[in-house]
Structure 1
């Protein structure tokens, strides 16, 4: 399995959401009787999560193909232009996806995308690579808007599936403890614009306020973008974690407020009320699909109250995740 999960020099996942998705998909593949392992193009990981196959680049992937019957490219918003600092758009996830499918074709290895998101892609180079990546390859996407972008922007064929994290199932928590914290999980851009007054309503609750770093890539963490004043408003800012540690924190929370979509997914799977704080397309789609309270940014925090996901929508999405993963495996077996 290939995903955007990578290990940092701190021996922790660079992105906790990517790590959660990767392990959820690997575990689901193994539960269906397959031998499954995730590739990691980062630093060697010791402990925490599923085992990783350490690869140094496309050449190492090509050599490793001899040992595999199929490649699943899965979890997260893999179909996006994430390397805007690379001239022409020829790097990042578009290059990873294209290289993976080209190598699979060259070695006659079955390949498919599963549970991925597709964001708007404007630059020519990134669009060309992603079109190459999905050409003639089965693509199961997490939502209808991603399917539309695969069809119209990337000229591929997509099947609406579900987010890979839903393969973990739903585990309702029940009542929150009296000392349950409020967890805030923001990406760097939203953290940069967070003001102390945005947090006033949360602080008035008297609960402990915790900032959860979902991105923890070595020297940069989401909290690095906070102003000194905003950072001081939190009772705790998390250090480097494994994703299961972050999941336990979210499960213990009174509520979760975030622009990090997979912190919101973790809250939903744990039965924790949440608020989405973003106008990013993927977060808007998540909030619409599961009827989650949402405002465009942190300035609207005082105007919204946490809410639970729509139970019927969540149950349907979990069932879809299970059935579409079975569909992928049947396709791999030629049935």
Structure 2
């Protein structure tokens, strides 16, 4: 009898957790957020003796299940959502920029609606490293305020998001400011072995090009394409000032690949430089490996910049949204330009310095990067502790 009791105590507790976010759309940044959350929950669960069983709300449940090996239900089928939440021990909302109305008026009502549904069903809700805003429709403040006040744990990915929630009426002392979850995402080899950045160096070196590799992550933003034209002029200036390999990294397919192809067509004579588009596939860790093999990265996509910081790749950002400025600010950096203004000569000189002074860049920013990677695990630690 005593032996049976000991065996039972050794078994981990099982907790089912529904995860809500912008998942299944095959956007590398958002998929990286999901993979980072799943990885952190599994690691923290193992440390605390809890087996977390995620159920992901996805626009493509079959693909999500195949990609991550987790249960998944359709994010737009209410009956499936209700059954998943009712059978769970809680709901995680995040990460990413879920609570903003720049992409449309339906976004905030959808995500707050899912959180509210879980609360009505008596389940604890957890906000995982979200970026809040912009919120231009003031009537949406009450939707956000209502679910945040009733959540068991609230974390946001930058101080500006915390301040915005505070202005909406969410008590500031209930909000943790943490890094984006992707700062804690390991390379695939690290995920299997538990290794660190030092272990990643041979893998990165294995893919090095004879020419310095400059990763490029662009997206459509301005309807007239003037921002991409400016980026093309800047990249052309860089390529003609020194021999480089411009490796375009499409984070959201097919739109980013189309934007990259258009920019390549505008570069003109590159001299000894070359331009190409990477095809890493859907796995976020495959894109993380691509970024790790770059000598520098020029990013418009937020998660391209986060991937670079994760792998200590010197980076330079182009701002199209406050979230870009906010992330760069955490690293002590400023964008090289915006979608409205980008000086080609200043850009070429700045990237040149990153390539020539990469060791100095890593020394200057290594401390804050290490801290952000460690702090990225805090939400998972807190959630597992509260749900066990």
Q: Report the TM-score range of the alignment, normalised by the length of the smaller protein.
A: 0.7 to 0.9
- Residues 97 and 133 in structure 1, CA contact (< 8 A), matched pair in contact too: no
- Residues 55 and 84 in structure 2, CA contact (< 8 A), matched pair in contact too: no
2:321 matched to which residue of 1? 280
CA root-mean-square deviation: 2.7
Query: What is the aligned counterpart of 2:258 among 196, 199, 224?
Result: 224
CA gap of 1:260–1:35, structure 2 versus 1, over 3 A, is same
CA shift digits 1:53-96 (9 cap, x unpaired): 02243332111123211111122122211433xxxx2x12x123
1:209 matched to which residue of 2? 246
Written as runs of structure 1 = structure 2, the 5 A alignment for 1:127-166 is: 127-137=141-151, 138-153=153-168, 155=170, 157-166=174-183
Written as runs of structure 1 = structure 2, the 5 A alignment for 1:1-335 is: 1-8=18-25, 13=26, 15-31=27-43, 32-33=45-46, 34-43=51-60, 44-45=62-63, 47-55=66-74, 56-84=76-104, 89=105, 91-92=106-107, 94-137=108-151, 138-153=153-168, 155=170, 157-168=174-185, 171=197, 177-179=208-210, 180-189=212-221, 192=225, 193-195=227-229, 196-204=232-240, 205-216=242-253, 220-225=254-259, 228=262, 230-231=264-265, 233=267, 235-239=275-279, 241-242=281-282, 243-278=284-319, 280-297=321-338, 299-300=342-343, 301-305=347-351, 306=354, 307-308=361-362, 310-333=365-388
- Residues 214 and 263 in structure 1, CA contact (< 8 A), matched pair in contact too: yes
- Residues 276 and 283 in structure 1, CA contact (< 8 A), matched pair in contact too: yes
Q: Which moved more, 1:163-172 or 1:116-125?
A: 163-172
TM-score by length of 2: 0.73
TM-score by length of 1: 0.84
Unmatched segments (≥5 aa) in structure 2:
1-17, 187-195, 268-273, 355-360
CA gap of 1:69–1:278, structure 2 versus 1, over 3 A, is same
How many residues align? The count is 319
Q: Which moved more, 1:32-41 or 1:279-288?
A: 32-41
The Cα of 1:256 is off from its aligned counterpart by 0.9
CA distance in 2, matches of 1:248, 1:240: 9
Larger-gyration structure (1/2): 2
SS at match of 2:125: strand
Higher helix share: 2
- Residues 250 and 267 in structure 1, CA contact (< 8 A), matched pair in contact too: yes
The Cα of 1:181 is off from its aligned counterpart by 2.6
- Residues 162 and 320 in structure 1, CA contact (< 8 A), matched pair in contact too: yes
CA shift digits 1:85-132 (9 cap, x unpaired): xxxx2x12x123212211111211111101111122111354343233
CA gap of 1:80–1:304, structure 2 versus 1, over 3 A, is same
